[in-house]
Each structure stands twice: as C-alpha cells, then as structure tokens.
Amino acid sequence: MIEQIISRRLQITLPQVQGTVRLLRDGATIPFISRYRKEATGSLDELQVGAVKELLERLTELEARRQTVLSTIEEQGKLTPELRRRIEGCWDSVELEDLYLPYKPKRRTRATVARERGLEPLADLIMAQQARDAAQQARRYISAEVPTPEEALAGACDIIAERISEDEQARNGLRRTFAREGVVHTKLVKGKEAEGAKYSDYFDAATPLRNISSHRFLAMRRGADEGILKITVDVDADRCIEGLCRRFIRPGSTTRTWMEAAAADSFKRLMRPSIETEQLAAAKEKADDEAIRVFAENLRQLLLSSPLGQKRVIALDPGFRTGCKVVALDSQGSLLHNTTIYPHPPQNHYAEAAETLRALAAKYKAEAFAIGDGTAGRETEQLVRGLGLEGVEVFMVSEDGASVYSASAAAREEFPDYDVTVRGAVSIGRRLIDPLSELVKIDPKSIGVGQYQHSVDQSKLKARLATVVESCVNRVGVNINTASKHILTYISGLGPALAENIVAYRAANGDFKSRKALLKVPRLGAKAFEQAAGFLRVVGGTNPLDNSAVHPESYHIAERMAADAGVSVEQLLADKALRKAVRPERYVSGEVGLPTVTDILEALDKQGLDPREQLQVFSFDPNVHTIDDLRAGMLLPGIVTNITAFGAFVDIGVKQDGLVHISQLADRYVASPADVVHLGQHVEVKVTGIDTVRNRISLTMRRNG
C-alpha cells in the first residue's frame, strides 16, 4: 500500500517505486541506487530516489502512529468497525489526528469537570435541540457542586463546546477559512522598540497567510522567538462562529441560545487557538522547506565549485594589527612552511613583507596565491599583485567558516602543534586547491550560503545538508590514496568508522593498489564494498578501470568490449575511436540493461576526469576597496556569493556584499534567482543604491536598469 501511495503522490510508476523501496530497505544509498541500479528503478535520478526515501520514511512513521491510535482507542472500548476502517485507510497525518482527537487522553478540561458533575445528559438534551424549556430541565442537575441552573447550563455548554471543537468537518471548515482568508499579523511587544530595531519592518505588519514568503515568515518567527514580536493569524471571528452555528444548529431549534453560546465559546477558547497554532506550524514547515531547499542548492553549488587542482599554493589569512599569516602548501595541500608578515598598519612593513612573499614563492615554486577575503583582504591582494610574479595566479577565497574549522577537533587533530591562525590559512589555501575536500570538514551552517538557517527545523536541515554533501562527494569521487577521513565519511556505504579504518590501514600498509584491496580493511565487508567501490578511485593502480566510475561488478563487461575489439582494456581506454565503435546493445543481457552499458561507456570516456568546471581567474575593480569608494551608476565586476529566495548577494570587493533583488536580475520576469545565477558566477553589476548607515548596497544586473 505504501508503494502505491508514493507512486501516486510523486507521479512515478509503481514498478519504479517498488524497485527503489526494495533497494532502500536493503540498505542501499541514494548515490548507489541512482548510479548503479538504473534497471531496478527505471533510471530514477538522485532527486527522485531522495523523494521516494523521504516519503517512505514519513509514511512509515504515519503507519506506526496509526497503530498507536488504534490500540489506544481499542483499550477504551470505543473502536467501532467503521472507525477502524477509517483509521486503517487514513494516510494523512492531519486527518488521522482529527479522527483520534475525541479519544485522545486529555488533561483535565472544563468539559471533563462538567462530565464528572453529571452534566453530560443535559448537554445531550441541548444538542438534541428539542427540549421545551432547557432552563427548567437544568434544575434537575442542581447539586452541591452545581448550585444553580445557570451553572448547570454553563457546564453542559462546556461539554458541547468540546464536542464541536472535536468535530472533523468543523475543523476542516475552519482550516479552509484560515488558509483562504487568514492574515498573519505581527505586533511589537511593548517596551522592545530599541532591542528589536532590526525588526522595525514587522512592528505592525499584516500579510495574507496564503502567499506569505518564506524569508518574510522566518524573519517574523525569529522576532517572535527573541521576544520582540507577537504573531497571530487574524480571521473574521463572527463569520467563523456563524459557520459553526449553521453546521450545528438545526432550523426550529428550541435551544438555539445555548448552542450559539457553546459555538462561540468553542471557536474562541478551543478551536481558534489550536487551528491558529496548526496553521502557523504549517506555514513554518513550508517556509522551512523553502529555506532548506535554497540552502541545499547553494551548498551543492559551493561544494561543486571549480577547484584549482593539484598546484603549489601560498595562502594568506590577512589582518591588520595581528599581521597576515602566510603558509606554503604543496600540490596535495600539505603544510610546508608558515610565517607572519606585517605589511599593513600599524606596523607598515610593506617592503619586508613583499620580499618575504617573493622568497617563499621562489623557494616553494608557487603556482598560485590564495588570499582570504576578510579583514585586510583587498589590501593584501594589492600587495600580492604588485609583486609581479610571472605565471603565478592570484585568487580571493571566501573565509566563511575558516575560523570554525581552525578551532575544530578536526583541525586540532590535523595540526596539533599549530595555532588557529595557521590552521585558518591552511584551510583558505586548501579551499582553492579543492573546495569539496576542505569544506566537508566544516558544519554546512557555518559556510555562509544559507537563508535563516538557524531559524529552520534543525534536524530536517541537518539531514538535507548531509544528503547534499553525500551527493556531491560521490558525484566527484575521491582518490582513495589521498582522501582524508572527513571526505571518505560521505562516500556511499562507509561512514565515520570505516573512513577512519581506511585511513589507518593506508597509513600502516601504504597506498592501495586496487579497489579489491579495500576488502582487507577491518570491518569493511562485501556490502560496504558494493556501495562504495564505484565512487573510489585508485590512480596508477594495477587495474586501469579502478580509476573510473565503472563499478567492479561490471568490469567483465568493459573487458568483453576490449576483447571484442581485439585490444587490451588500456588500449580501449586510450582510443576514443575504438570506444565509439562499440555497440551497446551487444552487451545487454538478462542481468545487465542498456542504461548500465551506456553508463559504462560514458565512464570509460571520462576516466579519471573531474566533473567540476575549470577555475577561472577573477579580479575586482582596482579602484574600489570600501563602501565609501562606491558611486551610484558604477559598473563593477563581482562574484555571486549567496542566493536566496529574494535575490542574490554579490561580492564587489568592499567587504560588504551587495544585493541584486530578484526583480533586478534580468530584463525579464525571474521566477527564481537560481534560474539566472549560480554561486561563484562572475557577473557585471551596476550600483543603484548605497546606504552607509545600515551598510547596505543595492545592485542591478538589468541592462536597462
């Protein structure tokens, strides 16, 4: 049944879902399924397999909740055949909770007290709406605990109000009203004006619930969480109460007065607070999902950003008073040397710093400089470019998260004898050489590409970002003989323990000569090998296929292709014409389908190649260094550093990124900024506004802007 629901909701055929679910339940990872099990899934991609997994987990949780509901109601002796049928057929969490609500164990309520005082028969009488004189009837229920008819009627109305609030159709009607007509209203908490100045846009703001944007709602919620704002969802209360009365009061009712009172009380005291909370939670979940989606896509682009490759780098972590920390790294990112220079105020040892950098570049045969883009970044860039070193490229590198890494356990483990400044400089250099390998060591929330990442559901954010990191690492693949345990952790089928075992085995036994040698690693069994092997590369090993994306289970197919062509595997890999002559359909069998054969040929074409784009050199405008240098109308080069739902932030070299609002990204309608720009993209922008008080810069990419 679950597979059928997934198929229907995701618009994926049932056989595709069944194949995917079977693999997931067998412990296969998303990268492995989408890359090496296309016949079983009908060639579903990573996003589709991920969607199946997410929905499978939600429906499995719902199934467990449904069993809890059934057993709880059954213990009360109130589980009728019809109620059982409805619960067992329910696959919507809101509907399930509505069905459960009348039977859900509650804390002591006003209705509970009224029942204990024997007022339920009076409530039944009023709800029957045929009593000639309810007030007279109420006298029969007078007792020591209920001294007057008025109190008896009030207690009966409490019971009726609770029944109304638990009515499934009534709750659904109110949900529709809130969703269609509700207005999210924020008000300033009295006395919080100064403390909450940054939320001034929301001190008295109203936005329709049905189309409130993710970033706006999350800003409101953050203000509420900090005690600055109070959030409500406003609806027309009188119309809602009238709707309840129409549902529960029959024409010719003799107890209309008490029914109207109960309906009004039910709405104000019971239904409105719960439905409002529910709607705000639903809006928060929707806003979270959008923010997490944006963050995940930004992270994906950042992790897959262009690497410099294996080149020797001098990296600088700039500063003024404390100087610039300088490190020399080899082509693998290993630390060779570190020192500190003081070219900027207050020391101003410019010439000495320049001579030190020239000497280091010569000694370590530097091919590139990596300069952190934080404090004194542009000033240090000027110094390096002024060295005039021929053939040495200069790059500004984002420092976001570098301080988090330098103080982390991972950094202390890598560099126990160096302080945080050296570790930070090394991280900056390694980010240039290979962003993916370095950024996997840092909590994604600290990398600086999110939107309200600290306000969203943290468990959902963590799971989604982990999936993104896993996807990126496996898409690129890693060299098993140079990879750190941090990046190996994300390889399909491994995890922290096996990653550590691989590194320890490599340290004790030397480089791996083949993928098959992985089976000698402690605790790395056949299942983990199956999941991981295709994403690990052995450069210069005994089998050339080990440096490709061809899975070992398919080596025999590649070997047959070579044998049929009358050449060795090495010759097949080296000769594009030979590979082009291979007819894929010849290798299709009952066990191997055309998608797998096609993937094998593609893998042979791309043997050892990194799928990421080549890094391009970029330079900021040499005349612009601070926000005070900006003028409206300036055309400047920039780099896209963050993408949100409302626009893109661009670094133009003044230590404060400017915003290109979504309406300014192109001379046409833009539905999503991601349709126009990507992280790291080199763009030309025009300055349209400068707010030095709030340190805000407005930019446009419109040619007619």
- What residue ranges do the domains of the chain occupy? 2-103, 110-295, 313-433, 496-605, 627-700
What does the pLDDT read at residue 97?
95
CA distance 483 to 538: 11
CA distance 495 to 502: 11
What does the pLDDT read at residue 119?
97
Average pLDDT, stretch 222-240? Answer: 96
Instruction: Collapse the DSSP code of 541 into the 3-class scheme (helix H, G, I; strand E, B; otherwise coil) and give the result.
Output: coil
CA distance 519 to 513: 12
Q: Dig out the tokens for 461 from the structure.
A: 């954010």
What does the pLDDT read at residue 446?
81
Looking from the CA of 190 toward its CB, the CA atoms found within 13 Å total 0
Whether the Cβ atoms of residue 244 and residue 270 lie closer than 8 Å to each other: no
Confidence of residue 151 (pLDDT cuts 50, 70, 90): very high
CA distance 485 to 209: 46
Q: Dig out the tokens for 404 from the structure.
A: 């988090």
Q: Dig out the tokens for 656 from the structure.
A: 């404060």
What does the pLDDT read at residue 237?
97
pLDDT tens digits along 165-206: 999 999 999 999 999 999 999 999 999 998 988 899 999 999
Helix orientation angle between 120-128 and 256-265, rounded to the nearest 10 degrees: 110
**What's the chain's average pLDDT?**
94
583 — phi, psi (to 5°)?
-100, 110
What does the pLDDT read at residue 131?
84
CATH for 110-295 (1.10.1530.10, 3.30.70.2190, 1.10.3720.10, 1.10.3500.10): 1.10.3500.10
Type of residue numbered 438: E
Fold designation for 313-433 = Nucleotidyltransferase; domain 5 (3.30.420)
Looking from the CA of 356 toward its CB, the CA atoms found within 13 Å total 20
CA distance 21 to 15: 10
The torsion region of residue 236 among left (phi > 0), alpha (psi -120 to 50) and beta comes to beta
Confidence of residue 1 (pLDDT cuts 50, 70, 90): confident
Q: How far is CA 635 from the centre of its chain?
A: 34
What residues have CB less than 8 Å from 255, skipping those under 6 apart? 125, 126, 127, 128, 129, 131, 134
The least confident of 121-125, 158-162, 189-193 is: 189-193
What does the pLDDT read at residue 21?
98
324 — phi, psi (to 5°)?
-105, 120
pLDDT tens digits along 423-463: 999 999 999 999 999 999 988 888 877 777 778 899 999 99
pLDDT tens digits along 315-354: 999 999 999 999 999 999 999 999 999 999 999 999 999 9
Fold designation for 627-700 = OB fold (Dihydrolipoamide Acetyltransferase, E2P) (2.40.50)
Q: Say yes or no to pLDDT of 705 above 70.
A: no
Fold designation for 496-605 = DNA polymerase; domain 1 (1.10.150)
What does the pLDDT read at residue 682?
94
pLDDT tens digits along 242-280: 999 999 999 999 999 999 999 999 999 999 999 999 999
Ranges 130-144, 491-505, 621-635, most confident: 491-505
Q: Say yes or no to pLDDT of 655 above 90.
A: no
CATH for 2-103 (2.102.10.10, 3.40.50.620, 3.10.450.50, 1.10.10.650): 1.10.10.650
Looking from the CA of 304 toward its CB, the CA atoms found within 13 Å total 22
What does the pLDDT read at residue 123?
97
Q: What percent of the chain has pLDDT over 90?
A: 89
Whether the Cβ atoms of residue 522 and residue 505 lie closer than 8 Å to each other: yes
- Other CB atoms closer than 10 Å to residue 223's CB: what's the count? 23
Q: Say yes or no to pLDDT of 70 above 70.
A: yes
Count Cβ atoms within 10 A of the Cβ of residue 6 and give its class: 0-12 exposed, 13-18 middle, 19 or more buried.
buried
What does the pLDDT read at residue 590?
86
In the sheet that 204-208 helps form, which strands lie side by side, from edge to edge? 204-208, 183-188, 229-234
Strand partners, 316: 326, 371
What does the pLDDT read at residue 19?
97
pLDDT tens digits along 539-583: 999 999 999 999 999 999 999 999 999 999 999 999 999 999 999
What does the pLDDT read at residue 611?
81
The least confident of 250-264, 409-423, 527-541, 603-617 is: 603-617
